[in-house]
Chains A and B, each alone.
Chain A
């Protein structure tokens, strides 16, 4: 009973945040609602006893990605959608088949996956130590590759944002 209430609370927070992030007119509000949805998702993970995933979700999505989105909005200065303009673009119906296709792909992949087999409740327990051992032994190459990729992306971002004036003397003021 208590579990169901918790689940309903977390799920409604996630869904409400996601819907509000799409529907609101003010982009900053949208970003904050998205952060709320991220937090709800983290709460869902925590409720499933996936401690590490839940906390990592909180740390990365609420702590970093939401801030990134907010900064992007602030830097592009397009905060407000004017009252007269509709939220959806005129060609919104094009999104319908694309969305349906993505959903079909996802459903197909999920239904075909072997992890859909139901395990007896309580049998799954993944302490952080086990996750760490798996990451450092079995999955060390993918982990390192992802690290390399992220480092490359970071360096690329720095190079792009580093607009050095070619001739500092002739810089117009």
Chain B
């Protein structure tokens, strides 16, 4: 355990050591909160810039390049713009709810970071039921979205909020179910224990990340799809489909309230990516033996950044879904598949004791087949002759 690996922990202890003994726990808690908020707020600013730059790159244009060198100060300009914009509240809006909605949306999302292990000994709260806490906190955002949509007294806002709630409720199910095999095989709901369960090495060199097993890879893919939908990002950004319903529940928001929604969306995405890293990609563990010299928080950050890049890439590449496609995809594809994934995990667990040689690759292929065939079949029902025909209620 090198000094560099523990630098933030030691720094925190050192800083808290200056405080008198009775308030020391309080000081270290405040320090942890400040670090998390500082790091992820910076991440938010950088991600908005990286997203616009990368989207530009992938769509064969420049992206922001006016403010500062290579457009590097664009987030600052955006922030200042948001701050000095007029805050417009519609005349017939429910003023109190209109004011509260962005706060109720943004505040709980920050809590989700409290249970994520960012590195060795770097968990703010080691909760016994960490992952349950994560999902419980996430469930408050639906009410906030409803508050935003309903209080605006605008048809588009309500329609957008309804779309968003339908989408969030639908995709919360596969989001939670896809992490279930990892919890069952680790035998714990604590995120630290889940990370610890992925700490050893198979064959003497390859880390036992869950993503290297068939059920883990499948679970990671299901989780990433559900997390994209949960944070209302393209291709699941129907709640804000601007060509259909202006901007959904954000229609009547401007200025800093809008910025808060924007922040909440991105921070929610960060929390999802952090959970994906923790549950499926080995948390802060190195991928192969011999790379442990790099500090653990660097591994977490690297995997986290890679996932964020993946989200941006998907956004740049895929077109938006239709609402019926979106809900069918959740209930008729993702939910059954995440249940199938439980069976795959069970098969993987019971086949772990196979004694004969070359058991590992055979086991891998068999378990992968157990997932791929239902996947193929369910995918066929989504688009084949069994699919429900599209019904036009008003457009004939």
By a beta-carbon cutoff of 8 Å, the part of chain A in contact with chain B is 26, 28-29, 32, 35, 39, 42, 51-52, 55-56, 58-59, 62-64, 66-67, 70, 74, 127-129
Residues B165 and A62 in contact, CB atoms below 8 Å apart: no
Whether a CB of chain A sits under 8 angstroms from the CB of B297 is no
Residues B139 and A35 in contact, CB atoms below 8 Å apart: no
Q: How far is the CB of A17 from chain B (nearest CB, A)?
A: 13
Whether a CB of chain A sits under 8 angstroms from the CB of B142 is yes
Whether a CB of chain A sits under 8 angstroms from the CB of B77 is no
Residues B129 and A58 in contact, CB atoms below 8 Å apart: no
Q: Of B127, B136, B147, B187, which contacts A59 at CB under 8 A? A: B136
Q: How far is the CB of B61 from chain A (nearest CB, A)?
A: 40
Q: Of B97, B128, B140, B188, which contacts A63 at CB under 8 A? A: B140
Q: Of B94, B129, B135, B188, which contacts A51 at CB under 8 A? A: B129
Residues B129 and A55 in contact, CB atoms below 8 Å apart: yes
Q: Of B97, B128, B140, which contacts A127 at CB under 8 A? A: B128
Residues A128 and B189 in contact, CB atoms below 8 Å apart: yes
Q: Would you list 6 pairs from A and B whose C-beta atoms are within 8 A, ordered by A residue?
A: A56-B132, A58-B140, A59-B132, A64-B139, A74-B150, A128-B129
Specify which chain B residues have a CB less than 8 angstroms from the CB of A128 in the assembled complex. 128-129, 132, 189
Cα-based distance from A146 to B109 in the complex (angstroms): 32
Tell me the chain B residues, 135-162 only, with Cβ under 8 Å from chain A.
135-140, 142-143, 146-147, 150, 162
Q: How far is the CB of A53 from chain B (nearest CB, A)?
A: 10
Residues B128 and A66 in contact, CB atoms below 8 Å apart: no
Whether a CB of chain A sits under 8 angstroms from the CB of B133 is yes
Cα-based distance from A127 to B188 in the complex (angstroms): 10
Residues A55 and B188 in contact, CB atoms below 8 Å apart: no
Specify which chain B residues have a CB less than 8 angstroms from the CB of A63 in the assembled complex. 136, 138-140, 142, 172
**Chain B residue with Cβ nearest A49:** B128
A62-B132 contact, Cβ under 8 Å, with A67-B146, A128-B189: no
Q: Of B94, B132, B165, which contacts A52 at CB under 8 A? A: B132
Cα-based distance from A74 to B172 in the complex (angstroms): 22
**Chain A residue with Cβ nearest B138:** A63
Whether a CB of chain A sits under 8 angstroms from the CB of B169 is yes
Cα-based distance from A39 to B143 in the complex (angstroms): 12
**Chain A residue with Cβ nearest B100:** A32
Q: Of A26, A29, A62, A129, which contacts B139 at CB under 8 A? A: A62
Residues B136 and A58 in contact, CB atoms below 8 Å apart: yes
Cα-based distance from A54 to B162 in the complex (angstroms): 27
Q: Of A56, A74, A129, which contacts B188 at CB under 8 A? A: A129
Q: How far is the CB of B37 from chain A (nearest CB, A)?
A: 21
Specify which chain A residues have a CB less than 8 angstroms from the CB of B127 in the assembled complex. 51
Tell me the chain B residues, 301-318 only, with Cβ under 8 Å from chain A.
none
Q: Of A28, A52, A62, which contacts B140 at CB under 8 A? A: A62
Q: Of A29, A32, A58, which contacts B137 at CB under 8 A? A: A58
Specify which chain A residues have a CB less than 8 angstroms from the CB of B97 in the assembled complex. 29, 32
Q: How far is the CB of A47 from chain B (nearest CB, A)?
A: 14
Specify which chain A residues have a CB less than 8 angstroms from the CB of B146 in the assembled complex. 67, 70
Specify which chain B residues have a CB less than 8 angstroms from the CB of A127 in the assembled complex. 128
Q: How far is the CB of B392 from chain A (nearest CB, A)?
A: 12
Q: Of A26, A52, A56, A67, which contacts B143 at CB under 8 A? A: A67
**Chain A residue with Cβ nearest B150:** A28
Specify which chain B residues have a CB less than 8 angstroms from the CB of A64 in the assembled complex. 139, 169
Q: How far is the CB of B388 from chain A (nearest CB, A)?
A: 12
Specify which chain A residues have a CB less than 8 angstroms from the CB of B137 in the assembled complex. 58
Q: How far is the CB of A32 from chain B (nearest CB, A)?
A: 7
Q: How far is the CB of B55 from chain A (nearest CB, A)?
A: 32
